[in-house]
Structure 1
Amino acid sequence: MSRAAQVDTIIVGGGVIGLSTAWNLARRGQRVLLLERFAPGHTRGASHGATRNMNNAYGEPFYLDLYDEALQAWQELEERSGERLLTLCGLVSHGDPDAIAGSYAALQARGAAAELLSAEEAASRWPGMRFEGTVLANRDAGRIHAATALEVFAAEARAFGADLRFGHRVTALSVVDGGVEVRATDPDGAELSFSASGAVVAAGAWSRELLTGLVELPPLTVTEEHPAHFQVRPTLVEPGGESWWPSFNHFATASTEPGRTNVYGMLTPGEGVKVGFHMAGDEVDPDARRFRASDLARDALRAYVAEWFPGLDPDTADEISCTYTSTADGRFVLDRVGPITVAAGFSGHGFKFAPAVGRVLADAVQGIAFTPEPFRLAAH
């Protein structure tokens, strides 16, 4: 087994959270080594795909604080990299009146660009959609160009000296005097050993496997989710193309059909409009997935699109497969235990917060600040 030179921090996991943390630490002058089991942009986890919702329909100030910080950081990354990372095409949310009222009040309190519309007003503005009840529209929201974001984080981290190694599977993590030791195999199967002052574990569905015996995590449920892209009907494609489609949330209500969860989505240019049930998939072993929704789930999504999206063809579903790693309340786990900093349980809504979460984790690694209280292990 070969041993590499010691670094300051080893990051386990090369999805958006791991890459953001690598960037945040490296630009502070830390010697950073990131180990990722799969290839860049792989489809085994939760960070792949072209788009994500830039969604600020939250009622909790701690999420909105992270959102505001992340929005500014995304925009700064755009300027630095010259790449387009955001399209602020707006976000419309409808359904559960309590969720709408809570989000609107929280957004108003911080002066966000939010307004309330009737269902009829919203349908007139966005004729490809149907709406339920009062509609919350946010202008400082939209979508993230997710695949580009991964590439930019990696490039920026490397520019500051981070060593990013893909195809390196971590097989063991242990706490030793002075920090941590990490064992891994490289793409050729050779065994390697690395030492560092600390480690950040941002391994998604594999978090519990790596942290058992080291950190007592709250219950984490790994599910396989299956949103799909649907094609826009030709009559709804305006001269400017599909760009008028906002991102969206449809919050389930007490009267919603049994078993249906919240729905989310956004336009993915060139692929159609992405529509998905939130946190509705079957629990899975991340190493033994089907990469296919059940016929029942496919039928349910098709029926939903047929009912709520007159501007989409429900028979054009192009299915996606991804994982959610979820806590019971949907809040992330961000905390430090000795030399190990944990980032887990992003529950299908963490991507947009990545630059801010990377800063939070970097602060924890360096002992600059505790993570926000709602995300600490004790809060779960």
Structure 2
Amino acid sequence: MITVKKQVNMAVPSNTVFDCIVLGAGIQGSSTAYHLAKNHKKTLLLEQFPLPHSRGSSHGQTRIIRRAYAEDFYTNMMEETYQLWAELEKESGIKLYRKTGLLLIAPPGNEEFESMCKIMEERKISWEPLTQEKCKLKYPDFFLKSGEVACCDHDGGVLSADKALRAVQEQFQKMGGVIRDGEKVKHIQPGRVVTVTTTSGCFEAEKLVITAGPWAQKVLSPLGLELPLKTLRINVCYWKEKIPGRSGLLQNFPTFLGVNLNGEEHEVYGLPSQEYPGLFKICFHGGNEADPEERELQDKPNQIQDIQILCDFVSQYLPDLHPKPAVIEQCMYTNTPDCNFILDYHPLHKNIVIGTGFSGHGFKLSPLVGKILCELSIGKPPSYDLKPFSITRFKIPINSSM
């Protein structure tokens, strides 16, 4: 049984000016605060909900980690990301990564799949192409269609998400960092010293990092910045075997990603579930637009459509599973138009740093995202080229009167 350690709000003297305030204690904000504390910065991590909670994008027990990406800048970042996860495991004494391999499936000639294979080959990443025969031998419970292509990213696996979030927050506190939860932001006053007013008080810092997840736009709008973000409600589905334990599927189940199968634009992904022992987590990588304050209000027609895509996938590719999900939960994505992150300064306030738009694939990269946001906030040259993550790639107006 895992005991969840409740965060305790620490008293903050009224005259305290922090080096940095991080707004939002999901995995990205917590990782940023952790790196700031490692750099000996007096850091306050603010969270609007009592911790732990399931309102945003960082809850749940499992996430996929992989090296395989169709964009080389993400693949380049994954090398250090794996190292940072290993460092956190060592510091916390908690195992966070389980290697299972990642099975990639796509129709013949799929550009995204071919790009992933090419990049893995060029970067000398451990992987192998799989013929239909090899795939059947390696993963006998997956039924590929004639002509479909597959490969395995050997380092793909499962991250223990809840444990990871708790571990990074605890390490942050051990280094002297302060967490205050249940502190909803009411106002941000930019300036040489940024003032953040919450439901409980006012806090000041020389730098502010905003990692507010689905609430990012609500926080940024009063600062004159309208980013092209969409918040999506995602159905997280869990499936059980028709005959529990008979197929051996549980012992040989990789993480997997199906790209543009059945002539559709969507992706389907799956992984062994830790949330519900004996079940399998298989999800549609997409969802329907929803206000994060109203995430529990279901849009039944759209929900049924998304789940039907998954039912069809399971019936065709994993017939030893029940064709209907046993459990359905919700999560939130915060998407950009190109599904790439935003890691940048506020255009008008250079002591305000923004990390948002993680588009449903940011958790695995969070240790490195936290390092990069830390670098931006303390004035270090970023470790990576941030052009793919810049705000200026979007043609958006900036309201300087705010």
Contact kept, 8 Å, 1:11 with 1:199, in 2: the verdict is yes
- Specify the alignment match of 2:88 in structure 1: 77
Displacement of 1:213 in angstroms is 4.2
Question: Which residue of the partner structure matches residue 74 of structure 2?
Answer: 63
Change (3 A) 1:61 1:215: farther
The 5 Å alignment of 1:91-240 reads: 91-96=102-107, 97-132=110-145, 133-176=148-191, 178-185=192-199, 191-214=200-223, 216-232=225-241, 233-238=243-248
With 93-102 and 339-348 compared, the bigger mean Cα shift is at 93-102
Residue 150 of structure 2 aligns with an amino acid whose one-letter code is V
Say whether residues 1:267 and 2:272 are aligned partners. yes
Contact 1:95–1:131 (CA under 8 A) maintained in structure 2? no
Aligned amino acid, residue 32 of structure 2:
T
* TM-superposed deviation, 1:105: 0.8
State the alpha-carbon separation in 2 of the partners of residues 312 and 41 from structure 1.
Answer: 32
Counterparts in 2 of 1:361 and 1:243: CA distance versus 1, 3 Å: farther
Which string of whole-angstrom CA distances, capped at 9 and with x for unpartnered residues, describes residues 13-57 of structure 1?
010000100111001100000110112231111111010010222
Question: Is the partner of 2:173 in helix, strand or coil?
Answer: helix
Q: 1:237 to 1:20 in 2, by over 3 A?
A: farther
In the alignment, what sits opposite 2:255?
A: 247
Distance (Å, rounded) in 1 between the aligned partners of 2:31 and 2:297: 27
The one of 271, 282, 286 equivalent to 2:288 is: 282
Q: What is the deviation of 1:204?
A: 0.7
> For the residues of structure 2 that align with 1:195 and 1:272, how far apart are their CA atoms?
46
2:69 match: secondary structure:
coil
Aligned-partner Cα distance in 2 for 1:108–1:314: 36
**Shift in CA distance, 375/271, structure 1 to aligned 2, threshold 3 Å:** farther
For 2:66 and 2:266, the matched residues in 1 are separated by 17
Query: Mean Cα displacement is larger for which, 10-19 or 311-320?
Result: 311-320
Shift, 1:261, TM fit:
1.1
Whole-angstrom CA distance in 2 between matches of 1:111 and 1:215: 45
Q: Distance in 1 between matches of 2:228 and 2:82?
A: 30
- CA distance in structure 1 between the partners assigned to 2:15 and 2:319 by the alignment: 58
Contact 2:250–2:278 (CA under 8 A) maintained in structure 1: no
Q: Which amino acid aligns with 2:244?
A: P
Shift of 1:98: 1.7
What letter corresponds to residue 104 of structure 1 in structure 2? C
Secondary structure at 1:23's aligned position in 2? helix
Q: Which residue in the other structure is 1:355 paired with? A: 367
Moved more, 72-81 or 351-360: 72-81
Q: Could you tell me how far 1:167 is from its partner in structure 2?
A: 1.1
Question: What secondary structure does 1:67 align onto?
Answer: helix
RMSD between superposed Cα atoms in Å: 1.9
Amino acid at match of 1:183: T
Identity %: 30
The equivalent of 1:188 in structure 2 is none
Find the residue that maps to 1:58 and give its secondary structure. Answer: coil
Evaluate the alpha carbon distance shift between residue 4 and residue 93 of structure 1 in structure 2; reply closer, same or farther with a 3 A threshold.
farther
Are the aligned partners of 2:244 and 2:278 in contact in 1 as well (CA < 8 Å)? no
Stretches of 4+ aligned residues off by more than 4 angstroms: none
Matches within 5 A, 1:31-70: 31-70=42-81
Structure 1 regions of 5+ residues with no counterpart?
186-190
Provide the rounded CA distance (Å) in 2 between the counterparts of 1:75 and 1:251.
29
Q: Which amino acid is the alignment partner of residue 91 of structure 1?
A: L
Cα drift, residue 237 of structure 1: 5.0
Aligned to 2:164, the other structure's residue is in SS state helix
CA contact (8 A) 2:284 2:309 kept: no
CA contact (8 A) 1:305 1:314 kept: yes
Match of 1:15 in 2: 26
Q: Distance in 1 between matches of 2:268 and 2:45?
A: 34
Aligned to 1:365: 377
Residue 325, structure 1, aligned to residue 334, structure 2: yes
Inter-partner Cα distance in structure 2 for 1:287 and 1:352: 25
CA distance in 2, matches of 1:278, 1:287: 21
Q: 2:164 and 2:17 mapped to 1: Cα distance?
A: 29
Report the AA paired with residue 376 of structure 2: A
Please list every run of 5 or more consecutive structure 2 residues that lacks an aligned counterpart in the other structure.
1-12, 395-402
In structure 2, distance between residues paired with 1:275 and 1:80: 31
> Are residues 305 and 148 of structure 1, via their aligned partners in 2, closer, same or farther at CA, if it must alter by over 3 Å?
same
> Residues of 2 paired with 1:14 and 1:262: CA distance?
28
Question: Is this contact kept in 1: 2:217–2:227, CA < 8 A?
Answer: no
